[in-house]
Amino acid sequence: MKKTSRIRSLKWVLMMCILVSFTKMTSYAQGEKPNIIYILSDDQSWNDYGFTGHPHIETPNIDKLAEEGHTFTRGYVTAPLCSPSLASIITGLYPYQHGITGNDPEFAFEGKRYSNDWQMARSRLYKDYLDEFQKHPTIPMVLKKLGYLSFQAGKWWGGNYKEGGFTHGMTHGDPSRGGRHGDVGLKIGREGMDPIFDFMDHAIDEDKPFFVWYAPFLPHSPHNPPDSLLQKYLPLAPTKSVAAYWAMCEWFDITVGQLLDRVEEKGLSENTLVVFVTDNGWIQDPNVPNKYVEGSKQAPQDMGIRTPIIYKWPGKIKPKMDHSNLTSSIDMAVTTMAAVGLDPLPDMQGINIMDKKTLKKRKVIYSQDFAHDMKGVNAKEETLESRILITSPWKIIVPGVANKDTQEVLLYDILKDPLEENNLADKHPEVVKKLTASLDNWWGK
């Protein structure tokens, strides 16, 4: 894997400025610039929606969004953990490129993890990672050059919202006030939607196009839904902890409905690109509240990295329930840039999903799984647990440095075996060889 040097990063920023200043607008982006809204679920399995077939969880608002947009049911994220996954969404880069491979730096601490003292110690060490990450252009930075206002609400690991290029936001990033991964921003959704609504009104008053990052702490733990929702699911779920998680999923859906209703009320729907994705998967432990089971979050299995990805843009993106094409969260940045008339930045590996020819040619999706804690800015491979490749019908999981001595290569026919129960690596060594070579080639980019 090539290491990104300081010179290369500075060159990248310069290239971004050149692209934003001089790139010719494409035909579908001429005229009025679209508003853009990212809706990001937090810790939710790909099949925990009404439209993906869950027998009990009700998500009518997201179901409606899925019906009205191009919905990829075979979507994947770049990592099964929130911080690296979200960093990929905002930059269009894989974790091995942007450098945020885990949630926290690894360090010895005599005391309680997540305490105030731990937060302060973490912040000092995490600064090195933020310094590297902030060398990369983000979508808000790109859009700002085009006159956009942008608003950060919810989960955000990148310090103060301004450091991510947002013009407006909620997260202050002060570790002395709990600024690890969102602080004040985590109130959005759980305590109402007014900050986003006020921002939208401000953008309208200023006659500016806007970008909204809506990443609520939902259905993320603590699973403390409104009692009316909990009571609704208690008779349906096997345990109270499962009922609480299901209720959280519907609570999230309610807030999505509030946001989309406001867009409609303001007459903005026709000129707004809405993109929906989940940062990583989740399977609720039936016996332990607020806990996931092995093989979901932080795991390379589909229950950790698969997600529906939805793009809605009336008149520009034709509604389709797409069960065949593969897509990745890495495509969101490239597609967003295309929507405003820009080419992707040099190191972006995603595609514009609105380009039907390119979408049809896309046959391979990549992902990666790193340890929760990072060992150093220049020690990414030490915490690499696995690299993943998906190409119908195959999915391969190749062990990384961190567990190469304990994990075997896993090969699944993901279409026939969606639960990944039958490892076919020994039966198809030629497939393993071919797909591993493809992974190695990608990893070297």
Higher pLDDT, 80 or 13: 80
How far is residue 87's CA from residue 342's CA, in Å, rounded to a whole number?
20
Region 340-356: mean pLDDT is 97
CA 442 vs CA 1, 220, 325, 328: distances in Å? 9, 32, 20, 15
Confidence band of 55 (pLDDT split at 50, 70, 90): very high
CA 143 vs CA 20, 24, 210, 265, 341: distances in Å? 8, 15, 9, 24, 11
> What's residue 163's pLDDT?
94
Confidence band of 176 (pLDDT split at 50, 70, 90): confident
Whether the predicted pLDDT of 151 surpasses 50? yes
Q: Within 10 A of 91 (CB to CB), how many other CB atoms are there?
A: 24
Task: Give the single-character DSSP code of 46.
Answer: T
> What's residue 178's pLDDT?
80
Region 291-310: mean pLDDT is 98
Confidence band of 291 (pLDDT split at 50, 70, 90): very high
Region 227-255: mean pLDDT is 99
Alpha carbons within 13 A on the beta-carbon side of 371: 17
Structural domains present in the chain? 6-355 (3.40.720.10)
CA 124 vs CA 87, 162, 378: distances in Å? 20, 19, 17
Which positions ≥6 away from 267 have C-beta within 8 Å? none
Whether the predicted pLDDT of 445 surpasses 80? no
Region 315-342: mean pLDDT is 98
Cα 217 vs. chain centroid, distance in angstroms?
13
> What's residue 23's pLDDT?
40
How far is residue 328's CA from residue 429's CA, in Å, rounded to a whole number?
27
For 66-103, how does the pLDDT look when each residue is reduced to its tens digit (9 = 90+)? 999 999 999 999 999 999 999 999 999 999 999 999 99
**Across 124-128, 291-295, 362-366, 441-445, least confident range:** 441-445
Whether the predicted pLDDT of 351 surpasses 80? yes
Region 21-50: mean pLDDT is 76
Whether the predicted pLDDT of 19 surpasses 50? no
Specify the pTM. 0.93
Region 44-53: mean pLDDT is 98
CB 40 within 8 A of CB 214: yes
